[in-house]
């Protein structure tokens, strides 16, 4: 009975890793749609979100099944509860990618990001993609050593977002209110994807060690 329980629990974490891979693809495609004004690709990101939502529902069903029928305790209970929290965060990361894609679609045939800010937004997007990719491995292998690489990236993300506001509030800003709103939202979306990625990684630390992650 316990062996079957652990097999099912392992399958939950396999599903979480697969969802994280879907989120990685969503972030990459949303960014590409944003920077190339590709409406077709933006639509693909928006449509593909249904797959992430369905995968989240499957993880929740499995997890509630384990809670109701197996009554896990200690470390096993910690893993199930963590899975329920992580899948919600992964879904939100997918939703944030959809928000990016919707801004891209809204501004087609123009690129939503002013040319002088594209390097900054591109870097923010790249950080988000790298962090989500690292979380795929952290979940799949439950290898918490990879979390050390996430903190510096999150700090860089915060610096980049602050730099966006510095640029937008400067007296020589010439792109208008609409562009400023788009850039502010996009910066927030990428920052939140990074925040959720770090939060998911921290939950894996808790699963593995039983202790909250120590943020250096």
- What is the rounded CA–CA span in Å between residue 88 and residue 109? 34
Query: How far is Cα of residue 109 from the mean position of the Cα atoms in its chain?
Result: 27
- What is the rounded CA–CA span in Å between residue 88 and residue 106? 27
pLDDT tens string 8-64: 888 999 999 999 999 999 999 999 999 999 999 999 999 999 999 999 999 999 988
User: Nearest-CA neighbor of 168 among 195, 153, 187, 190?
Assistant: 187
Residue 7, domain member (yes or no): yes
Start-to-end CA distance of the chain, whole Å, equals 41
Please check whether residue 138 is in contact with residue 201, taking contact to mean a CB–CB distance below 8 angstroms. Answer: yes
- What is the rounded CA–CA span in Å between residue 166 and residue 164? 5
How many domains does the structure of the chain reveal?
1
Domain ranges, residue 55 = 2-209
Residue 215, domain member (yes or no): no
Residue 92, domain member (yes or no): yes
pLDDT confidence bin for 1, thresholds 50/70/90: low
- What is the rounded CA–CA span in Å between residue 11 and residue 62? 9
The CATH number of whichever domain residue 135 belongs to comes to: 1.20.58.220
Residue 65, domain member (yes or no): yes
55 sits in which H/E element:
helix 39-70
Residue 214, domain member (yes or no): no
């Amino acid at each position: 009975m316990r062996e079957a329980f652990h097999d099912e629990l392992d399958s939950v974490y396999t599903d979480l890793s697969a969802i994280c891979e879907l989120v990685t693809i969503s972030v990459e495609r949303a960014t590409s749609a944003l920077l190339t004004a590709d409406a077709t690709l933006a639509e693909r990101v928006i449509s593909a979100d249904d797959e992430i939502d369905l995968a989240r529902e499957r993880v929740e069903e499995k997890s509630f099944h384990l809670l109701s029928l197996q009554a896990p305790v200690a470390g096993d209970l910690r893993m199930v509860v963590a899975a329920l929290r992580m899948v919600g965060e992964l879904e939100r990361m997918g939703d944030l990618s959809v928000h990016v894609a919707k801004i891209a679609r809204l501004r087609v045939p123009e690129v939503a990001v002013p040319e002088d800010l594209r390097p900054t937004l591109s870097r923010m997007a790249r950080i988000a993609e790298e962090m989500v990719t690292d979380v795929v491995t952290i979940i799949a292998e439950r290898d918490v050593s990879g979390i050390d690489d996430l903190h510096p990236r999150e700090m860089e993300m915060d610096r980049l977002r602050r730099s966006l506001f510095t640029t937008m509030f400067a007296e020589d800003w010439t792109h208008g209110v609409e562009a400023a709103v788009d850039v502010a939202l996009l910066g927030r979306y990428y920052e939140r994807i990074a925040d959720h990625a770090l939060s998911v990684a921290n939950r894996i630390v808790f699963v593995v060690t039983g202790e909250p992650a120590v943020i250096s």
